[in-house]
Amino acid sequence: RTKRQAISAEPTVLDLSQLSDVTLTSYCKNKESGELIQRALMDNDFMKHLEHGQILTIMDCMYPTSLAKGCCVIQEGDDGSTVYVLEEGTVEVTKQDKKLCTIGPGKVFGELAILYNCTRTATVTALTDIKLWAIDRQGFQTIMMRTGLIKHSQYIDFLRSVPRFQSLPEDILSKLADTLEETCYNDGDYIIRQGATGDTFFIISKGQVKVSQQLSASDEQITVETLSKGDWFGELALEGEDVRTASVTAMGDVTCLVIDRESFKQLIGGLDDGSSKQYDSDEVKEKWKAEADFFSSVS
């Protein structure tokens, strides 16, 4: 394992213009094979951080292939073009004729040359007749990249729904989308605490949150409202030091897109200030007012 982690080649640079032309083909597979592939991808050190959607699409696009005992599946030093998941049989991994390990069903191999754009780091030989699932470089990289692009455009849409951001030019919105951090919370987690200072702004991209306030130390927390997907909170923190006027807690699983003041300022600078905002619709105006009310409601 240590050798695998020592790879220092640069990750592959992709040409976006080529990706739009790539058609992804899905291949039928039974439930067991689908699950084996998913587990294999999630178990691989280099792929386990992929999003679930990416894992499912890679699984969907893998095609079946088989090789006889003794065949060389991958030759060290070659240019790599395929990532494999072993379904049946055993393969041996060698490097400069030294045995590194044997691999059994439910494992990924051949991922390094594709992920790191390097030549094959080892030779892989079939010790038995083997059944494999395979995906080629182009399909694999398209899936990696397209998901990123779709996400990026979803982030831009979310940002556009916030009045403060609506009039920002496309390139600034795009950069803002790059700086967003997606953060997940579990049921009951505090996202912000009343009284704490904050420098982060949140847009809910999944789930619901409860906004509650405590008017004095001896009072109970009162639920003020619930917010859901597309709603935002903490906007004033982007303008200057914000003492949080309410607590916000997750109701079930919640995902927020989080922007911090520093990144925001660097990107937006003096481009626009909220006070000179022209409202584009009543709905937007209402949202903007609700946000302002929310943060000024406690004296």
Among 120, 146, 210, 287, contact with ligand CMP (rule: CB under 6 A): 120
Task: Indicate the residue among 37 and 122 with the shorter CB distance to ligand CMP.
Answer: 122
Among 40, 58, 62, 122, contact with ligand CMP (rule: CB under 6 A): 122
Q: Residue written as tokens 């439910």? A: 106
Determine the Cα–Cα distance for residues 296 and 17; give it in Å rounded to an integer: 48
Minimum distance, C-beta of residue 27 to ligand CMP, in the bound complex (Å):
21
Residues 77-116: x where in contact with ligand CMP by CB under 6 A, - otherwise, as a string: ---x------------x------xx-------xxxxx---
Task: Indicate the residue among 101 and 196 with the shorter CB distance to ligand CMP.
Answer: 101
Task: Indicate the residue among 75 and 128 with the shorter CB distance to ligand CMP.
Answer: 75
Q: Does residue 4 belong to the site contacting ligand CMP (CB under 6 A)?
A: yes
Q: How many helices and strands, by DSSP H and E, does the chain display?
A: 10, 16
- What are the C-alpha distances in Å from 137 to residues 15, 45, 145, 275? 13, 18, 12, 50
Minimum distance, C-beta of residue 84 to ligand CMP, in the bound complex (Å):
8
- CB-based contact 172:203 (threshold 8 Å): no
- CB-based contact 207:251 (threshold 8 Å): yes
* Beta bridge pairs of residue 202: 233, 258
Interactions with ligand CMP, residue window 38-77 (CB under 6 A): 74
Determine the Cα–Cα distance for residues 84 and 93; give it in Å rounded to an integer: 13
* Residue 259 backbone dihedrals phi, psi, to 5 degrees: -120, 135
Interacting residues with ligand CMP (CB under 6 A): 3-4, 74, 80, 93, 100-101, 109-113, 120-122, 124
